[in-house]
Amino acid sequence: MLTKLQDHNDPMKFRAYSTPFAHILCTIWLHLRLVCNLIVPALPYTELVTQQDNKGETTMGPFPHDAPKATINDANPAGTDGFEFVEFAHPEPEKLDSLFRQMGFVPVAKHRDKSITVYRQGDINYLLNSEPNSHASAFIEAHGPCAPAMAWRVVDAQHALKRAVDLGAEEFTGNKSIDAPAVIGIGGSLLYFIDTYGEKGSCYSNEFEWFDEVDPNPKGFGFYYLDHLTHNVIRGNMDTWYKFYHDTFNFREIRYFDITGKMTGLTSRALTSPDGKIRIPINESADDHSQIEEYLREYNGEGIQHIAIATNDIYSGTDLIADAGLEFMPGPPSIYYEKSLERVKDHQEPLDKLRSRGILIDGEGVVGGGETRILLQIFSKTVIGPIFFEFIQRKGDDGFGEGNFKALFESIEEDQINRGVLQSTAE
């Protein structure tokens, strides 16, 4: 079952902050707005940000490689235990092969009977599915370049499936990428449940052939876990998908954003699983013309907006990515970095390294007792249709770079005005 967004407008009039991704405008407006506290009359906004504090429950962590093994219990009724893979598909699959290699991923295994390849770096797996007459091929027909599935690690896959179906999820029994239980997820994509991982072995061993000439566990460019991925949903569906994750898997809301620009707005609810390893912010537009609506038009429905992978050394990691040819969003002006010590208190990050790479910094900085709470992040351009990638390093900060959130939204709206997608009231 594929969910499509019906668009009665001319689709050629809309681009989901794609090829240019408002890069230059985005960075200039974003960082001047945040760092200099400039008042931009053309783009007034209101914002509400809350953080949920569920006593006795995990919010944002511990992060995957520090977290204890999951168990099935009242707090974690489905036994979730992190991401296993994200699947991608493209009418020209060789473009995904090139893209994954540019991000440090290495092909490590190929399906014995299907045109599916596993790309790996650290503990992150991407599946490239070019199998004809499959769910992925149907997803390409509906969406173009896309992310037709993701997989979660769970304690017991059949238990997770039964719970999901009992609570209203629809089981998928068609042509799967891997022999594992799956239900219909966001926008008709698939959500697989995988219980063979870690000490229990590999879920790929029975169906895939490992490439002898490569390390089955490549370090790649040093990115070693999938930190989060986001969903863009049709207006009015926010509560539907919140209930799906909350009621079925006991996800909790840990961040809430309500941002209004001059003519458009959006709401975002950041959710995390009971084990703290699966994080999914959900974005919904407040009107017909925001960047979320543009994504939905280009993608022809709901789906994954971006995927964030994490490292312990963002400087070397992004250098390797850039050397491999992947383009990042251009960096902000120098004043952003000069003022960063005021915004991110007493941080010790080398300004020249941040500036030369265009890496963004957010967080509280050094807080009472000398604890560091810093998030370093940088974004790619949109590279799989309207989908893009984020590369991050967490130094005690468990947020999503929300210090940049409102200004990023405003900058994209300004780009929409400049492109004629929105009509400025000043004209």
Q: What is the maximal distance between C-alpha atoms in the chain?
A: 63
In 18-71, where does DSSP find H-type helix? 23-35
CA distance 232 to 305: 6
CA distance 219 to 317: 11
| Residue 306 is labelled as binding a ligand | yes
Question: How far apart are the two ends of the chain, measured CA to CA in Å?
Answer: 44
Sign of the torsion formed by the C-alpha atoms of 421, 425, 426 and 427:
positive
Paired with 396 in beta bridges are 374
**In this structure, what token pair is assigned to residue 3?**
């969910």
Write the DSSP string, 270-334: EEE-TTS--EEEEEEESSSSSHHHHHHHHHTS-EEEEEEEEES-HHHHHHHHHHHTPPBPPPPPH
CB atoms within 10 A of CB 176: 19
| Share of the chain residues as helix, strand and coil, in percent rounded to the nearest 5 | 30, 30, 40
| Residue 390 is labelled as binding a ligand | yes
H helix or E strand, kind and range, residue 232: strand 223-233
CB atoms within 10 A of CB 223: 30
CA distance 99 to 87: 14
| Residue 289 is labelled as binding a ligand | no
Annotated binding site: 228, 306, 390
Annotated binding site for Fe cation: 228, 306, 390
